[in-house]
Amino acid sequence: MGVSLKDIAQRAGVSLATVSNVVNGYRPVGEQTRRRVQQAIDELGYTPNLSARHLRRGRTGIIALAIPELNNPYFAELADAAIREAAGLGYTLVMESSGADRDLELLLLDGSRRHIIDGLIFSPVRITRDDVLARTGTVPLVLIGEGVYDVPHDHIAIDNVAASRVVVEHLLALGRRRIAFIGAGAGQDRQSAQLRLRGYREALAAAGLPVDAELVVATEQFGRRDGLLAMRRLLALDTPPDAVFGYNDLVAIGAVRAIGEAGRRVPEDIAVAGIDDIEEGRFSTPTLTTIAPDKEHIGRFAVQRLVALIEGAPLAPPADLHLPFRLEVRESTGPLGDRHRAVG
């Protein structure tokens, strides 16, 4: 039979209520008493039943992380940090994939699993600010990514406009002048694509360079194949680009493949950079220059904010929270020079 709170109370010489207060954090307990209870817990090898504790509080102990793509390494790395943080706080994190489908995103937003989960961390793509404001679900919500702004919920992201400017400024500093952008979105409402395109345009304008429409290539999706096909189009131009900025690392890696297939060299002929700092880019040939969001920080912080909401901790008013990022300069743009530039 397992160790009970009564066993701990007898070993520590305190009341059952005192042990419950220590284990569950209901009321403050004097430091000396708390230490005596903790010593009894350690000696007896007591393991709290987290499921029972959550149920006593009217919760399930389960939170969800809803992302657009399960097969995107960026989200996999972010989810890993979120899962570890949730476990450390006594919660189980389950994954949902919206497939970037608006109808599925609306179902998730309105709490289609409201009886199963205590809270939701959501990275939307298709829904709008008005959709969030019209939400009827009451499950605590924290937004991540770049899909929605100015809503009464915490929104954790990097500044995509600033990040894009940093990439293009880096390429300009290398003497590149014909810089392409792959991943503008094919008439889609993916706001992150529009924000990254805006940063690209702002950096060119600040350098006194016009935006050449033929160097801005829309893609249906944002994977390796999309980058490869878009790069083939750019290489077919009378005057191909001398640098390429991909919407994300997957697009950029696809572009590198197309450049190699065409007998061109990266970075000697065409420099390439992306955003996300996925592990694949650290081991590709050449290694990929990229914007590195702090995925560990984003995942952990989103869980911390959500659990605080679930447990009723006092928080500052919801806000757009821009976390830091850095430019990782690698072989795909060269020369290496300053390899790490913290920004944001």
pLDDT value of position 337: 44
Contact criterion met (CB below 8 Å) for 247 and 183? yes
* Element of type H or E holding 273: strand 271-275
Q: What is the reported pLDDT for 312?
A: 82
The pLDDT of residue 189 is 56
**Cross-strand partners of 156:** 144, 321
Q: Which of the listed ranges 67-76, 184-193, 285-294, 304-313 does the model predict with the highest average pLDDT?
A: 285-294
Burial of 287 (0-12, 13-18, 19+ CB in 10 A): middle
Query: What confidence tens digit (pLDDT) does each residue in 123-173 have?
Result: 998 888 899 988 887 889 999 987 666 788 999 999 999 999 999 999 999
Region 21-48: mean pLDDT is 77
- Looking at the predicted structure, is the pLDDT value of residue 27 above 70? no
Domains of the chain: 5-48 (1.10.260.40), 62-158+295-325 (3.40.50.2300), 160-293+326-343 (3.40.50.2300)
Tell me what pLDDT residue 188 has. Answer: 53
Geometric angle at alpha carbon 197, from 326 and 334, rounded to 5°:
45
Can you give the pTM of this predicted structure? 0.78
| Torsion sign over Cα 112, 106, 70, 303 | negative
Among 140-149, 195-204, 220-229, name the one with the lowest average pLDDT.
140-149
In sequence order, the 6+-apart residues with CB closer than 8 A to the CB of 262 are 232, 235
CB atoms within 10 A of CB 288: 27
Which pLDDT value is given to residue 215? 98
Mean pLDDT of the chain: 87
Is residue 87 within 8 Å of residue 61, measured between CB atoms? no
| pLDDT band at residue 267 under the 50/70/90 scheme | very high
Q: What is the pLDDT of residue 163?
A: 96
Average pLDDT over residues 90-116: 84
